[in-house]
Structure 1
């Protein structure tokens, strides 16, 4: 038997469910009513040509049985007597005892003919068990069912995905299923990958979250991608149903600098998923950021990823969809009646729904009772109008009036960091901040400041015992910070010297590439930061923060005088002592200082260092490219280093060639063992063309021969079989919520 308390539904959703389930129970179509047609009548059917049966539903979870009984006796009984039905059916989401049912029957006597015309929580659950199709029709009910929640809670989870899934489940109550939901689901089922785009606050992430939850409830393993597609590749399992989810894959508030080959990586993974019926791939991006990505990436345009796009726009929402979003937020808010009354006065909810700046994020904001401590109910409507007219003013008021200076610095730092930040990094920032010139005598502890900020401007999430992270409460906070706080170079310099995260420098680099920061501004900021470090005791600690600063410097300045001298001293230190951080950034740095003439290609110290760099550890493709450029400088006509590099590269590429070809989809129609050497060789040549070292045809041949065509054939056969099984197993059990025809009916309080 089902076991719902129906708390995931608002009152109108409960009415819709009740009429649907009673239609099945009585075997009669139950008619619904618009506001004003038949007050206090939620449904009607005819048990015989002359016997009209009236249905009324009461979803009084917030009030309880005692309040319900008083209301029925003091108000509802008189209304029913005026209607004077032949038969009256009463439905409530509350649990009722036998005595409760007898009392309700007496209250509505003689219209309730027998006690089994009173349906309570247990009765509805029993009917849902008999008619499971109704459960699936009502998405919010189905997704919170005991069976589905058990599936979700016990689902196969990869990495941080369990935390993300918990967050999704907690937000399900406020979700409204609109046409966008059904259209996006249809597209995802058809092509298996979807990029959900739209303006800030329109509901991209909410839609993607719920699509993910649906698939997890359908026994898919969730892989929530935090940083790169490498995470998805590591966990890809051909035999397992999997849903991959990459939120804001090009950056949350501005276009992150596309790493070399990131665009091809995304496209190849989309193609791989499209060939596997057991996989789904959901990405989100702001429309303007995705469009910027297309302009910077020819590959995005050439491969026409538009077919994977689904744009969520306010224009695509009907007024009734908007009404449901507003109503749902009011219902599940903790707003006191006085505040809610202000929205209902003169049907003001229509003004909100029709407002040009309507979006779900703003609706969540204006119905958040925690943000109304300084707004009394009489001023609430003015507050709503101001917020709708000037959405950016939301955060300006919070920053200028509601938080102190040190709290403001913390939020701006998290915004500049650009992603989740660990508690240890934030505590270290706070320690430096307290000692900096930005702190004007504030003696609040870190914990006190966080208690003040969490829930208002920051989120705090415990991932595990020793892993606590903080993030912005809302992405639009970063939009405000970028527009209002990124023009004061002295302030940004001081804050960055306290923050000291490579992510922050990476985001500043992206702001420069995206045109949000001018080159002159970035040049001055980088010079200030590098001059600080040059004067410090840590001037030779070449960590990722300093590496990113130097790489940004290579894009915006031509170092001179003291700065050039510092880079020379740092380079000399690296030549004598090596470096613990060996990655693409480091190799790009070495190439830059060689361009500057600081390191000479013939320096005898380079050769042993290069040998250790080559042999140090496995490299990714982009690191191979950067490292090859250094080797060509040192050995322009080849040598031992070149040979060692080529040997390792050939071994790595040969080991991965089969997987890379499967992912690239170039042999997806191969089902026999005919010779496909030309296609494979072309693929290898294309991939090695960016390596600065020249490969001989025999070496290309060696890599090509490592490709296992039989494995590719088997992968293609598996994909075809999975596709057939999916087509056979697929059903149409996912349908829309029953809809009510009028906004006024939705907001009708039944008080007249």
Structure 2
């Protein structure tokens, strides 16, 4: 089996070499802190006084001739001075038999036999053996690069977007430095099944979430990247009830599940998280910025009552020790494409200390200043000033690159992606780009090709990532979420620009995102009104003619108290109400407008609602619909019948997804499974109480009007089957927790200097 040793830095390779030799010799191997080693990366004892030495050379990309030259000119003299009884040499290079003979001759007489020389093939052969898997699993990066684990990782993605997310996570894992936060995160996932990573931008929430996810995928969990709707995850949960699944949602609330913030889908999120908490075959990792979770928590009683914060894992820079920071910086330098002249600047005068101890240190800035693409035209002589400015003014981290090193056409792609909530299909991006350069003043600059294909190649891998989500289907996401922060903060007052971006996008996603960024004061209320007016002027007549009701609902919903738009909104609503068989999905927003809009709309009948309530309704939609029915005293038999049916389906879904949270141990006496005694009437009584409680926020007047009762639902349940499922769930065992080795060490200056010793 092949292992990719290039993913390890030199310190990690030395630790691996010590582990391998320790296992072979069944001896304790002494290892020493990083730094000048005098030719010793590990030591063991033969008898009481005879010394054995291990030396590791991580020369993956170095030509063999350069390795031999280094051994002859430097290492041979070191070994002669040490005069060990036994000398073991390890390299990540491939070695032939002739190569080993040449190396043995250099270190004669200290290398006794050729099999005391380990090349890449020898290490791979050793690590492939079943009895040595403990060494592999102690090293997260090595483990996930093994062919079998990589196959498992890539095959365990649930089809679609999850596949591209896994590929992106796996490609970036080599830069990861295991810190104490990694160990804490794994512990929380094991104990609670749920972890919500929170913290300020750039602290490393997504990186930590990615690598915790990678660990569980490698342990056999299927991977589901949740996007835009929790319903996607609920559906997969039902389909794969008995399978191990890890659900992953980066920036939940902030972007992917933005509508929850306005208290429309918060119950969905709470219920799903609690469902995962109770099922040990499922895990869920979410990330959120602290301020966004705080805001959501403050406006959502369901978040408060659901005790969402019990699963919060707050990341802070101050929780990182100096050693953690040093390892993060060293790993980024080691795996960067920086030229030696730039790396020398970081080492000069121990500048790495100034980076590690800087008040604004965070992993995102480190990634930025060690990436040669983003350094652009910065010369080595100016590099330290560039690093220092990035640390001193982190809010401007993208300013120079975005504004001075790109042109209007590349920036157009970024604007379109940002205002489409940070993610857009290639088809939509191409269409909207071609529209934008027609309706917005764009400086085409030189005579180079400004076609979409040409421009998107310039933006890819510097500001955007292009992900393959299915055969011949691609989507674009921001290279880094901080790009959105920069764009939204820098251009928040550019009303014409934002209006033209939204006109070009022409997507419901962009309208919902406009609502969200207005809530978080990325655009002030006055500017938001003006943007809405611009969009009405541009879209209104065409969307009315096309009967694109959902788009018009979201456009009106931005601010349906906008006096300048009253007549148009009123005309739209009357047209919708009087339309022949209108269809749409944005029920909550429509009912909100109809309920609160002034002047009031007169209803002849309510047939316009039929198609809006035809499909499955979630809790929030049902609550809004019942309140609407009560306010306008609706007696339409078709609508009332639909309400009764949807309410039953809603309660049945609670039961099916085990949201009842019944402790069957109170009603079961078990001698030896599957033989048990069950108090069925006691279970039915508790279910009745739970279902009644689930209807707490449902309009009681309407429930009485339709004579709704839970008795039929309860009588149709197979209580015995529910008890068996409960017992089977309790018998599920966790995987053995293996998160990779971590040693926080001390944080004194000698240890930090040793890490950066060259």
2:340 corresponding residue in structure 1: 337
Which runs of 5 or more structure 1 residues have no equivalent in the other structure?
A: none
Cα 1:287–1:531 shift into 2, 3 Å: same
Q: Which moved more, 1:444-453 or 1:692-701?
A: 692-701
TM-score normalised by length of structure 2: 0.90
Q: Report the Cα distance in structure 1 between the residues aligned to 2:682 and 2:568, rounded to whole angstroms.
A: 57
SS class of match (2:234): helix
Residues 430-451 of structure 1, C-alpha deviation per residue, up to 9 Å, x if partnerless? 1221221423456721112212
1:417–1:507 contact (8 Å) kept in structure 2: yes
SS class of match (2:710): helix
Cα 1:225–1:444 shift into 2, 3 Å: same
Q: Report the Cα distance in structure 2 between the residues aligned to 1:744 and 1:687, rounded to whole angstroms.
A: 60
2:432 corresponding residue in structure 1: 429
Q: Report the Cα distance in structure 2 between the residues aligned to 1:656 and 1:731, rounded to whole angstroms.
A: 33
Cα 1:256–1:580 shift into 2, 3 Å: closer
Deviation at 1:734, TM superposition (A): 4.3
Q: Report the Cα distance in structure 2 between the residues aligned to 1:725 and 1:582, rounded to whole angstroms.
A: 39
1:324 corresponding residue in structure 2: 327
Deviation at 1:474, TM superposition (A): 0.7
1:235 corresponding residue in structure 2: 236
- State whether structure 2 residue 218 is matched by structure 1 residue 217: yes
Which runs of 5 or more structure 2 residues have no equivalent in the other structure?
A: 669-678
Q: Report the Cα distance in structure 2 between the residues aligned to 1:718 and 1:253, rounded to whole angstroms.
A: 32
Of the three residues 352, 374, 386, the one matched with 1:383 is 386
1:494 corresponding residue in structure 2: 500
Residues 589-608 of structure 1, C-alpha deviation per residue, up to 9 Å, x if partnerless? 6615x74245313x2xx344
Q: Report the Cα distance in structure 2 between the residues aligned to 1:627 and 1:731, rounded to whole angstroms.
A: 48
After TM superposition, the structure 1 = structure 2 runs for residues 575-594 of structure 1, keeping only pairs within 5 Å, are 575-578=577-580, 579-585=582-588, 587-588=590-591, 591-592=594-595
Deviation at 1:321, TM superposition (A): 1.4
1:468 corresponding residue in structure 2: 474
- State whether structure 2 residue 443 is matched by structure 1 residue 445: no
Deviation at 1:190, TM superposition (A): 0.9
1:547–1:589 contact (8 Å) kept in structure 2: no
1:151–1:217 contact (8 Å) kept in structure 2: yes
Residues 399-425 of structure 1, C-alpha deviation per residue, up to 9 Å, x if partnerless? 221111232233123212213111222
Q: Report the Cα distance in structure 1 between the residues aligned to 2:278 and 2:407, rounded to whole angstroms.
A: 54
Cα 1:719–1:688 shift into 2, 3 Å: closer
Q: Report the Cα distance in structure 2 between the residues aligned to 1:739 and 1:69, rounded to whole angstroms.
A: 35
1:248–1:286 contact (8 Å) kept in structure 2: yes
Q: Report the Cα distance in structure 1 between the residues aligned to 2:315 and 2:189, rounded to whole angstroms.
A: 14
After TM superposition, the structure 1 = structure 2 runs for residues 562-641 of structure 1, keeping only pairs within 5 Å, are 563-578=565-580, 579-585=582-588, 587-588=590-591, 591-592=594-595, 595-597=597-599, 599-601=601-603, 603=604, 606-611=605-610, 613=612, 616-632=614-630, 634-636=632-634, 638-641=635-638
2:673 corresponding residue in structure 1: none
2:27 corresponding residue in structure 1: 28
Q: Report the Cα distance in structure 2 between the residues aligned to 1:96 and 1:190, rounded to whole angstroms.
A: 45
After TM superposition, the structure 1 = structure 2 runs for residues 672-687 of structure 1, keeping only pairs within 5 Å, are 672-676=679-683, 679-687=686-694
After TM superposition, the structure 1 = structure 2 runs for residues 71-470 of structure 1, keeping only pairs within 5 Å, are 71-128=70-127, 129=129, 130-155=131-156, 157-236=158-237, 237-252=240-255, 258=261, 260=263, 262-440=265-443, 444-470=450-476
1:89–1:117 contact (8 Å) kept in structure 2: yes
Q: Report the Cα distance in structure 1 between the residues aligned to 2:627 and 2:118, rounded to whole angstroms.
A: 76
Deviation at 1:46, TM superposition (A): 1.2
Cα 1:581–1:268 shift into 2, 3 Å: closer
Q: Which moved more, 1:735-744 or 1:505-514?
A: 735-744
1:429–1:499 contact (8 Å) kept in structure 2: yes
Deviation at 1:238, TM superposition (A): 2.7
1:480 corresponding residue in structure 2: 486
Q: Report the Cα distance in structure 2 between the residues aligned to 1:539 and 1:634, rounded to whole angstroms.
A: 29
2:423–2:476 contact (8 Å) kept in structure 1: yes
SS class of match (2:398): helix
- State whether structure 2 residue 655 is matched by structure 1 residue 658: yes
1:584–1:622 contact (8 Å) kept in structure 2: no
SS class of match (2:6): coil
2:322–2:356 contact (8 Å) kept in structure 1: yes
Residues 697-739 of structure 1, C-alpha deviation per residue, up to 9 Å, x if partnerless? 6966643431368546644543443333406xx4354441467
Deviation at 1:745, TM superposition (A): 2.5
1:748 corresponding residue in structure 2: 757
2:465–2:476 contact (8 Å) kept in structure 1: yes
Cα 1:539–1:528 shift into 2, 3 Å: farther
Q: Which moved more, 1:118-127 or 1:180-189?
A: 118-127
2:495–2:527 contact (8 Å) kept in structure 1: yes
Q: Which moved more, 1:354-363 or 1:683-692?
A: 683-692
After TM superposition, the structure 1 = structure 2 runs for residues 513-552 of structure 1, keeping only pairs within 5 Å, are 513-534=519-540, 541-552=547-558
Q: Which moved more, 1:180-189 or 1:693-702?
A: 693-702
Cα 1:711–1:181 shift into 2, 3 Å: farther
Q: Report the Cα distance in structure 2 between the residues aligned to 1:590 and 1:297, rounded to whole angstroms.
A: 21
1:414–1:472 contact (8 Å) kept in structure 2: yes
1:677–1:704 contact (8 Å) kept in structure 2: no
Deviation at 1:315, TM superposition (A): 1.4
Q: Report the Cα distance in structure 2 between the residues aligned to 1:99 and 1:582, rounded to whole angstroms.
A: 71
2:390–2:397 contact (8 Å) kept in structure 1: yes
TM-score normalised by length of structure 1: 0.91
Q: Report the Cα distance in structure 1 between the residues aligned to 2:473 and 2:61, rounded to whole angstroms.
A: 36
2:671 corresponding residue in structure 1: none
Q: Report the Cα distance in structure 1 between the residues aligned to 2:644 and 2:487, rounded to whole angstroms.
A: 49
Residues 134-193 of structure 1, C-alpha deviation per residue, up to 9 Å, x if partnerless? 111112111211221222233262542222111111112111111111111011111111
1:5–1:121 contact (8 Å) kept in structure 2: no
Cα 1:276–1:712 shift into 2, 3 Å: farther
Q: Report the Cα distance in structure 2 between the residues aligned to 1:354 and 1:153, rounded to whole angstroms.
A: 39
SS class of match (1:463): strand
Q: Report the Cα distance in structure 2 between the residues aligned to 1:710 and 1:692, rounded to whole angstroms.
A: 25
Of the three residues 707, 732, 736, the one matched with 2:741 is 736
Deviation at 1:585, TM superposition (A): 4.8
Cα 1:607–1:711 shift into 2, 3 Å: same
Query: What's the RMSD between the two structures over aligned residues?
Result: 2.8
1:462–1:469 contact (8 Å) kept in structure 2: yes
Q: Which moved more, 1:736-745 or 1:9-18?
A: 736-745
